[in-house]
Amino acid sequence: MTDDPRYPARIRLNRKPLGVIGTALLARRNVLELIPELALRQPMVSGRTGLRWHMVMDPDALRIVLKDRVEDYPKSLITQLILEPAIGQSLFVAEGAHWRWQRRAAAPAFAQRNVEALGPVMTAAAEASSRRLAQGGEVDVFAETVAATFDVISDVTFSGDEGFDRDAVHGAIDAYIAGAAKVSVLDIIGAPRWVPRLGRLSSGGDLRRMKRVADEAIRARARTGPRQVPDLLDLLRAGMDPETQRRMSGAELRDNLLTFIVAGHETTALTLAWALYLLAFDPEVQDRAAIEARAVLGARAATAADVPHLTYIRQIVEEALRLYPPAAFLSRTSRIHDRLGGREVRPGDTIVLPIYALHRHHMLWDDPDRFDPDRFAPGVERDRFAFLPFGAGPRICIGASFALQEAVIILATLVARLRFSLTARQPEPRMILTLRPHGGVWLRVAPRA
């Protein structure tokens, strides 16, 4: 990690060639350290570490991979090996026709009217989080945002059913990410999927427990019927592919619900924690945000109806997503001979999408390591494929509007009531499955006068 007082915490990228073992060891510590420094100034970087790979930072090439020829660039074997044991062939992992029908069946659940209807749960979580933080002192705000967003996702998924054991699911998710989500040497050299990755074999107990809890909650809902205000489980149970009339089976419901639980709380918690760190890093931005939040909210917590009026808070969320994108390192596999960024791509090549490098690229952003929410002010133009916190194209994150609404509601409520300042402990960006602050985000919290 680099230490420059002008910039918030950033990663020291790789400046020397790595062999297979070096690559695997570095990937297990911090995947983002695999990115060469050159990737911040070149549209594409290629190499070989067992497998041929190409890192793509060129927006035109990214448009081809993510939108124009998405079927030719499916998710990589590494992605499948890491995620399938936890979430099966759900939306995030599935390809082709199996992905398409699930996406069509799930889409109504994430329609804007349904996202807005879930706003009261987010408002309640924001209110509870502000009460806990109002006690003041030095606080790991990442631990707090994880608690707040997990409350939201479990409530909007299962309506707070007593049969849904939040602690068991949360513990299983953490254990899985800490162990099984790490890249192995076998992944780096391109060993076939039937060769066991020992680190993932040991996660079986945690995963079975997590799936059992979800299965029991789904069976209980089948007995009791839908809630008066439908939650995500109700909406997915009612969902149907309009082309095939197919509905999700119990196992498909479970895997997709677990996908939304994992993605729906982890990514938003990270965005909020990094946003609070950035506000502590720049008190002037924090004061400007507080003025907007207080003008819109007064003494109450934010609601879904307030989100369109909290424009500067939204800009802060987007700048946090630029500097610290939760999904900071993606990969695809080429099925075809192609040319991307002027380079030959062969079938079987790994296409790396280093979103962290894209968002800090010197050809795309002015002074890219600087924290500046005005990059996202209304009317500021940029290439659509230069900013990809939720991906793009047909596989763009189905829950993007849900995540943004939740982040704005919670951040506005907190910054209107509380002041955050830095401590001696600086967070270290470190990615395993998501871009987490290693050691937490420790800030000093005090009520605003």
Q: H/E/C letters for each residue in 265-293?
A: HHHHHHHHHHHHHHHHHCHHHHHHHHHHH
Query: Which residue, among 273, 260, 234, 252, has the nearest Cα to 400 in the 3D structure?
Result: 260
Q: Dihedral (C-alpha) 55, 60, 65, 67: value to the nearest 10 degrees?
A: 150
Are the beta carbons of 34 and 42 closer than 8 angstroms?
A: no
d(CA 443, CA 421): 6
CA–chain centroid gap for 367, Å, is: 24
Is 75 a known ligand-binding residue? Answer: no
d(CA 275, CA 325): 11
Query: Which residue, among 448, 449, 437, 447, has the nearest Cα to 141 in the 3D structure?
Result: 437
Residues forming the active site:
267, 390, 397
Tell me 54's DSSP state. Answer: E
Which residue type occupies 148? A
Q: Position of tokens 């506000």?
A: 279
d(CA 243, CA 246): 8
**Would you list which residues are annotated within the binding site?**
397
**Would you list which residues are annotated within the binding site for heme?**
397
